[in-house]
């Protein structure tokens, strides 16, 4: 059965939830190359910062990317309502409110997971946001603040009653941060108590994990964050496995290297060479994890400053991994890189940024051989 978040009907049960510093427009484009239907969200956006900012790239959406949510955080109902209205105006399919972030910088100002300790304030926020937008609204939270105050079931009921159309529940408390195991049974308790769709979240790194999470929690969908890092293929592999029981192979190493490069140059096209290469290092490191004898290449990737250097390191790794054939396949795959097309309003700004951007891939062939 298709999941419905308010008026939004989803064609997939898999959600790539917000990851600050990760799920930007480029990351999402890479995931959509391999799984066009999954649900995705932007990184979290500060509602307070939006009061002073005319625009933020965190809210950039491509007209082609749907379904997409914009996640906002904050604790002032009126400020959150204004931020939600901005998100709707930006073209989001839904707004997600962050009530799960454990980071002290966020929680000390009553934002993120701190709101689980203030359910009345959380309710006010949800109600005001609900009134400010006509698109669906979801809330993402954890099991509670700590083991002595696990309140995810009551909190979920409150969200539903206040006008939330869906929830995502990370099966850990705030005090756990990322330690221990996500408690999928506890997510199941929330699912049992609610009638809006529930996305179960935490520790899905493999299609079989996703199937087990869905079975144990009874959740409508599964949210996969860290598992998708350097591994966008996990998303379609999960979709296929939960829909058909067929387990597709993990991608080949050369495909990972090609995608690492595509990710890198699109980040550069979007953010400029300095910021783009800088930000792409962590992604390229993630793509190369697990490739045999790749540690020294990862060291080099931490230092790259241009697309050409990235291409050089990845070419050499392709050569080491699958010999001359692997290298040739890598070069063919990166010769006409798959540039993403951004929507007019987003593209306009970045086409300029990418104007002087040119990678002499052929010249690089000689370096790599």
Ligand X SMILES: Cc1cc2nc3c(=O)[nH]c(=O)nc-3n(C[C@H](O)[C@H](O)[C@H](O)COP(=O)(O)O)c2cc1C
Rounded to whole angstroms, the Cα distance separating 143 from 344 reads 41
3-class SS at 307?
helix
Tell me which of 4, 20, 34, 346 binds ligand X, using CB under 6 A: 20
Tell me which of 6, 67, 69, 100 binds ligand X, using CB under 6 A: 100
Nearest approach, Cβ of 42 to ligand X (angstroms)?
8
CA nearest to 112, candidates 138, 139, 132, 133 = 139
Q: Active-site positions?
A: 101
Q: Render 3-44 in DSSP notation, one character per residue.
A: -EETTEEPS-SEEE---TTT-SHHHHHHHHHH-TTSEEEEEE
Segment interacting with ligand X (CB under 6 A) among 95-103, 244-252, 301-309, 310-318: 95-103
Give strand ranges (E) for the chain. 4-5, 8-9, 14-16, 39-46, 68-73, 94-99, 137-141, 166-170, 198-201, 221-223
Which of 216/368 has CB closer to ligand X? 216
CA nearest to 327, candidates 291, 360, 365, 289 = 365
Rounded to whole angstroms, the Cα distance separating 300 from 315 reads 13
Nearest approach, Cβ of 121 to ligand X (angstroms)?
18
3-class SS at 169?
strand
Which of 23/288 has CB closer to ligand X? 23
Tell me which of 6, 18, 188, 354 binds ligand X, using CB under 6 A: 18
Nearest approach, Cβ of 14 to ligand X (angstroms)?
11
Which of 156/326 has CB closer to ligand X? 156
CA nearest to 101, candidates 89, 86, 114, 117 = 114
Which of 141/270 has CB closer to ligand X? 141
CA nearest to 137, candidates 112, 164, 110 = 164
Nearest approach, Cβ of 295 to ligand X (angstroms)?
22
The interface mask with ligand X, positions 187-226, x = CB under 6 A, is --------------xxxx-------------------xxx
Which of 47/98 has CB closer to ligand X? 98
Footprint on residues 41-60 left by ligand X (CB under 6 A) = 43-44
Rounded to whole angstroms, the Cα distance separating 364 from 146 reads 53
The interface mask with ligand X, positions 130-169, x = CB under 6 A, is ----------x-----------------------------
- State phi, psi for 7 to the nearest 5 degrees: -85, 0
Nearest approach, Cβ of 228 to ligand X (angstroms)?
8
Task: Tell me which residues touch ligand X (CB under 6 A).
Answer: 17-22, 43-44, 71, 98, 100-101, 140, 170, 201-204, 224-227
């Amino acid at each position: 059965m298709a999941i419905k978040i308010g008026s939004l009907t989803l064609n997939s049960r898999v959600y790539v939830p917000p990851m600050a510093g990760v799920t930007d427009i480029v990351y999402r484009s890479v995931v959509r190359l391999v799984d066009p239907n999954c649900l995705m969200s932007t990184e979290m956006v500060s509602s307070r910062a939006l009061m002073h900012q005319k625009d933020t790239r965190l809210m950039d959406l491509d007209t082609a990317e749907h379904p997409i949510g914009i996640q906002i955080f904050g604790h002032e109902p009126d400020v959150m309502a204004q931020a939600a209205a901005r998100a709707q105006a930006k073209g989001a399919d839904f707004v997600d409110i962050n009530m799960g972030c454990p980071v002290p910088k966020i929680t000390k100002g009553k934002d993120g997971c701190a709101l689980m300790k203030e359910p009345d304030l959380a309710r006010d926020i949800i109600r005001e946001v609900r009134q400010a937008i006509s698109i669906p609204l979801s809330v993402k939270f954890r099991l509670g603040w700590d083991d002595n105050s696990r309140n995810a079931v009551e909190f979920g009921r409150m969200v539903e009653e206040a006008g939330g159309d869906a929830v995502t529940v990370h099966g850990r408390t705030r005090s756990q941060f990322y330690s221990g195991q996500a408690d999928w049974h506890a997510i199941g308790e929330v699912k049992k108590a609610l009638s809006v769709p529930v996305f179960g979240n935490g520790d899905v790194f493999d299609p079989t994990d996703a199937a087990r999470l869905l079975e144990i929690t009874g959740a409508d969908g599964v949210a996969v964050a860290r598992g998708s890092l350097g591994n966008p293929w996990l998303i379609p592999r999960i979709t296929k496995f939960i829909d058909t029981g067929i387990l597709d192979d993990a991608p080949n190493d050369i495909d990972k290297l090609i995608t690492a490069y595509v990710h890198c140059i699109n980040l550069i096209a979007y953010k400029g060479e300095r910021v783009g290469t800088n930000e792409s290092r962590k992604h390229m490191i993630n793509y190369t994890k697990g490739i045999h004898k790749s540690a020294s290449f990862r060291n080099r990737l931490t230092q790259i400053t241009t697309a050409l250097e990235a291409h050089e390191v990845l070419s050499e790794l392709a050569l080491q991994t699958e010999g001359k054939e692997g290298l040739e396949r890598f070069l063919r795959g990166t010769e006409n890189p798959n540039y993403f097309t951004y929507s007019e309003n987003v593209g306009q700004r970045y086409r300029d940024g990418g104007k002087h951007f040119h990678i002499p891939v052929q010249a690089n062939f000689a370096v790599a051989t």
